[in-house]
Amino acid sequence: MRHSSRSGAVAYGYFIQSAAHYCMKTKPPVNISIPQDAFPEQERERLHRKVLGAVSHDLKTPLSCIIGSLEIYERLKEKLSPDEINSLITTARLEAYRLDDLISNTLDMARFESSAVTVKKQLCAMDLLLEDCLIQLGPRLSDCDISITAIQASFSAVTDPLLLTRAICCVLDNAARHGSTHPVIGVEYEMTGGQVIIRIQDNGPGIPESALEAIFTKYTRFAQPDRTHTGTGLGLSICREIMRLLDGTVTAANLPDGAGAVFTLSFAA
């Protein structure tokens, strides 16, 4: 127990330190020396508090669940039923995904804010790019019904495939989190007027009209009564930042009759 808790604390401490360094536009602390006067002490403290306040609770919660599930399995595996073992493994796996999302989103946002992201455009087939999005999200979409529809024949576009894939994955993950009990996600894409348009709609409760813009703000989350976790509040802001880098846009709207929400990504082909 002591060893596991110590390992978790070390991982937690390294993440906080790395995120703080990214926010201060430096590289993560890997055997490097930073002059003491490189940043004002007051700014260091402000950034440190900002990172701690934003992610500390969300980081510790999944880490504690993972450690707890694995330790219960280790101590009681001879007495547990197959269903109980599967439940523990599933809990640890889902919380590991959640932890991975938190770390990836926080560090990605810090990279965007420090202008450390370079756009590398190339010709890519949109149908293959969208299929790759589903592969990357993998088990996180296992409970969803997803359809991908090309409004016209499949086509290629010049863009940064890695960044665009990341942006689409952020929206898909959001749709999976905020859909109904059984999420249904529809993806449509087309090229019109020299623009690539990608629409991603879900069957969730929709978005309050007053929040259609606010959801793209960092750490903005809207809790649902029947959901334990609502995400990090960074995915959609990362998506908007990526679309800005790609000289594009992302917007949100509600479908008629409360049928869900639709996100539209657009960029020049």
pLDDT score for 48: 60
- pLDDT beneath 50, residues of the chain: 1-12, 14, 18, 21-38, 225-229
Last residue of a domain, one of 48, 81, 113: 113
Q: Which H or E run includes 103?
A: helix 82-113
Same domain, 78 and 34: yes
Count CA within 13 A, CB hemisphere, residue 116.
15
What pLDDT score was predicted for residue 106?
Answer: 76
pLDDT for position 33: 42
Q: Are residues 67 and 160 in the same domain?
A: no
- SS3 string, 75-90, reads HHCCCCCHHHHHHHHH
73 shares its domain with 126 = no
Shared domain for 162 and 51, answered yes or no, is no
Q: Are residues 127 and 253 in the same domain?
A: yes
Strand order across the beta sheet in which 184-192 lies: 145-150, 184-192, 195-201, 261-268, 248-254
Query: Phi and psi (nearest 5°) for 253?
Result: -150, 165
Instruction: Encode pLDDT of 91-100 as tens digits.
Output: 888 888 878 8
99 lies in the same domain as 128: no
264 and 151: one domain?
yes
Cross-strand partners of 251 = 264
Percent helix, strand and coil across the chain, each rounded to 5? Answer: 55, 15, 30
Look up residue 214 and give its two tokens: 């606010």
Q: What is the 8-class DSSP label of residue 204?
A: S
Asked if residue 153 and residue 92 are part of one domain, the reply reads no
Q: How many domains does the chain have?
A: 2
Contact 189, 130 (CB under 8 A): yes
Boundary (domain end) residue, out of 64, 90, 113: 113
The residue segments making up the domain with residue 25 are 2-113
Give the per-residue pLDDT at 61. Answer: 79
Looking at the fold, whether 38 and 168 belong to one and the same domain comes out as no
Residues 89 and 154 in one domain: no
Per-residue pLDDT at 257 = 82
Task: Give the global pTM.
Answer: 0.70
Domain boundary pick from 86, 113, 140? 113
Residues 30 and 10 in one domain: yes
Is residue 182 domain-shared with residue 246, that is, in the same domain? yes
H or E stretch at 136: helix 126-137
* CATH assignment of the domain containing 169: 3.30.565.10
pLDDT of residue 55: 61
In angstroms, rounded to a whole number, what is the distance separating the alpha carbons of residues 188 and 253? 15
CA 97 to chain CA centroid, Å, is 10
DSSP state of 202: -
